[in-house]
Structure 1
Amino acid sequence: MSGLFDNIHPELDQAGAIEILATDFQDLESDSDYYMAVSHLVNFPGQFANEALLNFLGRVSTESAVLLAQRKAVEVLARLGVTQAQANIASFLDSSDIYMVENAAWALAQIGCKDQAVHQRLIRLLHDSTQNQRVLIQSLSKLSVFAALSTITPLMDHEKSSVRGAAIAATIHLSGDRTRLADLADHLYVANQMDRQSAVQDVIDAGGIELMSSLLQAPISPAFRMRAVRALVDRSSGEQLKNSALSAVDQVLRDDPRLITVLHHYGDPLPTQLLVEGLFHPDFSRCYLSMQTLLDRDPDEVWTQVWASWHKKAHNDYGAHYFMMHLFGLIRNWSHEALASIHDILSDAIRDRRPQFRKSPSAALLSFAILFPGQCDHFLKDGLTTVMQPFWDFRYTSLLLLQSPELSQIRSQNLDVVSNLSQSDPDYFVRWKAQSILQYT
Structure 2
Amino acid sequence: MPGLFDNIHDGLDQQGAVDILSKDVGVLESESDYYMAVSHLINFPGPITSQALLAFLDKCSVDVPVGLAQRKAVEVLARLGVVEATSKIATFLGSSDVYMVENAAWALSCLNCQDPEVHQRMIDLLYDSSQNQRVLIQSLSKLSVKSAIAPISVYTAHEKTSVRGAAIAAMIHLSGDQSHLTDLSDHLYDSNQMDRQSAVQDVIDANAVQLLSELLQAPISPAFRMRAVRALFDHPSNKLSDDEAISAVDQLLYDDPRLITVLHHYGESMPTQLLIEGLFHPDFSRCYLAMQELLKRDNREIWSSVESCWQEKAHNDYGAHYFLMRLFGLVEGWTEEALLQIHKILSDAIVDKRPQFRKSPSAALLSFAKLFPSQCNCFLENCLSLENSLSWDMRYAGLLLIQSDHSDDLQLRYQLQLQQLVESDVDSLLQLKAQSLLDHG
Q: Shorter-normalised TM-score: what interval?
A: over 0.9
Distance 1:172 1:237, change over 3 A: closer
Task: Specify the alignment match of 1:166 in structure 2.
Answer: 166
Matched, 1:318 2:325: no
Task: Specify the alignment match of 2:16 in structure 1.
Answer: 16
CA drift of 1:410 comes to 2.2
Task: Specify the alignment match of 1:61 in structure 2.
Answer: 61
Q: Helix, strand or coil for the counterpart of 1:280?
A: coil
Distance 1:386 1:321, change over 3 A: farther
Matched, 1:253 2:238: no
Task: Specify the alignment match of 2:118 in structure 1.
Answer: 118
Question: What code does the residue aligned with 1:37 have?
Answer: A
Task: Specify the alignment match of 2:216 in structure 1.
Answer: 216
Task: Specify the alignment match of 2:129 in structure 1.
Answer: 129
d(CA) in 1 for partners of 2:407 and 2:366? 12
Task: Specify the alignment match of 1:433 in structure 2.
Answer: 433
User: Which deviates further from its counterpart, 424-433 or 236-245?
Assistant: 236-245
Question: What code does the residue aligned with 1:172 have?
Answer: I
Matched, 1:369 2:369: yes
Matched, 1:50 2:71: no
CA drift of 1:413 comes to 1.1
Residues 255-404 of structure 1 mapped to structure 2, 5 A cutoff: 255-404=255-404
Give the conservation status (yes or no) of the 8 Å contact 1:373–1:406: no
Give the conservation status (yes or no) of the 8 Å contact 1:50–1:82: yes
d(CA) in 2 for partners of 1:239 and 1:168? 19
Give the conservation status (yes or no) of the 8 Å contact 1:134–1:162: yes
Residues 54-133 of structure 1 mapped to structure 2, 5 A cutoff: 54-133=54-133
Question: What code does the residue aligned with 1:295 have?
Answer: L
CA deviations 1:5-32 (Å, max 9, x no partner) are: 1101121100000000001111000000
Residues 397-436 of structure 1 mapped to structure 2, 5 A cutoff: 397-406=397-406, 408-436=408-436
CA drift of 1:214 comes to 0.5
**5+ residue gaps in structure 2?**
none
CA drift of 1:408 comes to 2.5
Poorly superposed stretches of 4+, deviation over 2 Å: 236-240, 386-390, 405-408
Q: Helix, strand or coil for the counterpart of 1:190?
A: coil
Taking structure 1 as the reference length, what is the TM-score of the superposition? Answer: 0.98
Question: What code does the residue aligned with 1:243 have?
Answer: D
Give the conservation status (yes or no) of the 8 Å contact 1:377–1:410: no
Task: Specify the alignment match of 1:7 in structure 2.
Answer: 7
Q: Helix, strand or coil for the counterpart of 2:36?
A: helix
d(CA) in 1 for partners of 2:15 and 2:308? 48
d(CA) in 1 for partners of 2:226 and 2:320? 19
CA deviations 1:265-322 (Å, max 9, x no partner) are: 1111221111111111111111111111111111111101111111111111111111
d(CA) in 2 for partners of 1:275 and 1:258? 15
d(CA) in 1 for partners of 2:242 and 2:146? 33
d(CA) in 1 for partners of 2:235 and 2:78? 23
Task: Specify the alignment match of 1:205 in structure 2.
Answer: 205
d(CA) in 2 for partners of 1:350 and 1:389? 14
Distance 1:206 1:53, change over 3 A: same
CA deviations 1:67-117 (Å, max 9, x no partner) are: 001111111111111111112111111111111110111011110111111
d(CA) in 1 for partners of 2:238 and 2:80? 33
Question: What code does the residue aligned with 2:373 have?
Answer: P
CA deviations 1:44-71 (Å, max 9, x no partner) are: 1111111110111111111111100111
d(CA) in 1 for partners of 2:320 and 2:23? 42
Q: Helix, strand or coil for the counterpart of 1:182?
A: helix
CA deviations 1:234-255 (Å, max 9, x no partner) are: 1266798111110000000000
d(CA) in 1 for partners of 2:361 and 2:318? 11
Taking structure 2 as the reference length, what is the TM-score of the superposition? Answer: 0.98
Q: Helix, strand or coil for the counterpart of 2:5?
A: coil
Task: Specify the alignment match of 2:157 in structure 1.
Answer: 157
Distance 1:430 1:283, change over 3 A: same
Percent identity over paired residues: 64
CA drift of 1:388 comes to 3.1
Task: Specify the alignment match of 1:34 in structure 2.
Answer: 34
Q: Helix, strand or coil for the counterpart of 1:93?
A: helix
User: What is the alpha-carbon root mean square deviation over aligned residues?
Assistant: 1.3
d(CA) in 2 for partners of 1:277 and 1:238? 42
**5+ residue gaps in structure 1?**
none
d(CA) in 2 for partners of 1:360 and 1:235? 27
Q: Helix, strand or coil for the counterpart of 2:29?
A: coil
Give the conservation status (yes or no) of the 8 Å contact 1:401–1:407: no
CA deviations 1:129-186 (Å, max 9, x no partner) are: 1110000000100111110111000100000110111000111111112221121011
CA drift of 1:199 comes to 0.4
Give the conservation status (yes or no) of the 8 Å contact 2:102–2:136: yes
Q: Helix, strand or coil for the counterpart of 1:403?
A: helix
CA drift of 1:387 comes to 2.3
Give the conservation status (yes or no) of the 8 Å contact 2:209–2:239: no
d(CA) in 1 for partners of 2:24 and 2:126? 37
Give the conservation status (yes or no) of the 8 Å contact 1:386–1:395: no
d(CA) in 2 for partners of 1:259 and 1:387? 35
Count residues in correspondence. Answer: 441
d(CA) in 2 for partners of 1:148 and 1:181? 19
Question: What code does the residue aligned with 1:75 have?
Answer: E
Q: Helix, strand or coil for the counterpart of 1:262?
A: coil
CA drift of 1:411 comes to 2.2
Distance 1:191 1:168, change over 3 A: same
Give the conservation status (yes or no) of the 8 Å contact 2:233–2:239: no
CA drift of 1:389 comes to 4.7
